[in-house]
Amino acid sequence: MSTFTIESTRSGFVESFHVVSAAVVDAEGTLVAASGDPDRVTFWRSAAKPFQSLPLVQDGAADRYGFGPRELALACASHSSEPVHRALAMQMLRACGCEEHQLACGPHPPLSPTVAEEALRTGVVLTPRWNNCSGKHAGMLALARHHGWDPRGYASAGHPVQERIHDEVAKWTGLPRDAFVKGVDGCLAVALALPLRAMATAWARFGISEEPSARRLREAMLAHPELVGGKGRACTDLLMAFRGEVVVKIGAEGVYCAALPRARLGVALKVEDGDARCAAPALLAVLQAVAAQQGIALSLAGLEHHAEPRLLNTRGEVTGTLRAVGELGFA
């Protein structure tokens, strides 16, 4: 069994290590390559957002409320709580006649250290619009409004919004509806647990689908990388650097998913211990191995700090790096 591991080094010596499970599959769900356990079942977290946003487009809510590529990119985002992200989430809420207090998600320190520090320094009160998922939640509220469903409880299991999403996830992953473990995500929305292989199948399909809703979401993410993450964030930088060759979305607890449309492949990975810092180095290692095998040129130029982040001590000196070792096993 081939496995990628992310090593954390100190003064050139391996101090800690993180095991990576990954599945690379084609649009039919056939396993093409793997690291560790490609059948590992875990929560999809925010790497499910494009699929959670499909009903919003498909059912006509996005058109009704005037959501263009920017709003759709934000619905798929784990944003950095930058002013542009907060303003756009509020605009989405207003467009569908909702208010901020209706968002089920709670505030949290922004994912961008810069934004987080500024928020603390200025003493601003963090509200739900600051949640990295506020775009997704605004989209869920819009879906409820569009269908005339009571928006209360829209994020909880059993609500028509979540049922609608659940159907869509079953369709794209090819899993039966009762195959999912239901949990509560950090933002209070339903989180679904499923095998990495099924997540990768959905992503492979998402990367090449000509279904208008999928195409619009995919093109929105590619057109507005700055809204999918934020300044300096891995998703934003990767979407920009790979210029349409790869569509990516990170999830919490070490999850990262991607589509390589030209190769008709999908990727889903989990850093087994959930370390968020290792997700981007792991994804880039998998993408490089897959691209090389498929004959796709995928340059890491400008992405070195995501591929091999440097670790600093309290004097700002580099003590080591996070680096991928091992290899992907091809079927």
Q: 325 near 7, Cβ under 8 Å?
A: yes
Range 159-188, binding a copy of itself (CB under 8 A): 181-188
Toward a copy of itself, which CB reaches closer, 76 or 191? 191
The angle at the Cα of 260, spanning 51 to 272, to the nearest 5 degrees, equals 70
Tell me, rounded to whole angstroms, the distance of Cα 134 from its chain centroid: 14
For the bound state, the minimum distance from the C-beta of residue 138 to a copy of itself, rounded and expressed in Å, comes to 15
Alpha carbon distance 1, 328 (integer Å) = 9
| Cα–Cα distance list, 127 to 46, 94, 103, 242, 270 (Å) | 20, 16, 10, 34, 30
Alpha carbon distance 253, 276 (integer Å) = 6
Q: Judging by beta carbons within 10 Å of its beta carbon (0-12, 13-18, 19+), is residue 319 exposed, middle or buried?
A: middle
Toward a copy of itself, which CB reaches closer, 218 or 270? 270
For the bound state, the minimum distance from the C-beta of residue 27 to a copy of itself, rounded and expressed in Å, comes to 27
Please pick, from the candidates 160, 274, 293, 296, the single residue that binds a copy of itself as defined by CB under 8 A: 274
Question: Nearest 10 degrees: CA dihedral of 145, 151, 155, 157?
Answer: -110
| Cα–Cα distance list, 247 to 8, 206, 220 (Å) | 27, 9, 11
Q: 3 near 36, Cβ under 8 Å?
A: yes
Toward a copy of itself, which CB reaches closer, 225 or 251? 251
For the bound state, the minimum distance from the C-beta of residue 18 to a copy of itself, rounded and expressed in Å, comes to 5
Q: Judging by beta carbons within 10 Å of its beta carbon (0-12, 13-18, 19+), is residue 12 exposed, middle or buried?
A: exposed
295 lines the binding site for a copy of itself (CB under 8 A): no
90 lines the binding site for a copy of itself (CB under 8 A): no
325 lines the binding site for a copy of itself (CB under 8 A): no
Please pick, from the candidates 83, 148, 176, 316, the single residue that binds a copy of itself as defined by CB under 8 A: 316
- Number of C-beta neighbours around residue 148 at 10 A: 7
Range 93-152, binding a copy of itself (CB under 8 A): 104-108, 117, 120-121, 123, 131
The interface region with a copy of itself, picked from 67-75, 84-92, 212-220, 270-278 by CB under 8 A, is 270-278
Please pick, from the candidates 275, 279, 286, 306, the single residue that binds a copy of itself as defined by CB under 8 A: 275
Range 296-315, binding a copy of itself (CB under 8 A): 313-315
For the bound state, the minimum distance from the C-beta of residue 131 to a copy of itself, rounded and expressed in Å, comes to 6
Please count the residues of this chain forming the interface with a copy of itself, following the rule CB under 8 A. 46
Give the binding site for a copy of itself (CB under 8 A): 8, 10-13, 15-19, 42-43, 104-108, 117, 120-121, 123, 131, 181-188, 191, 193, 253-254, 270-275, 313-317, 319
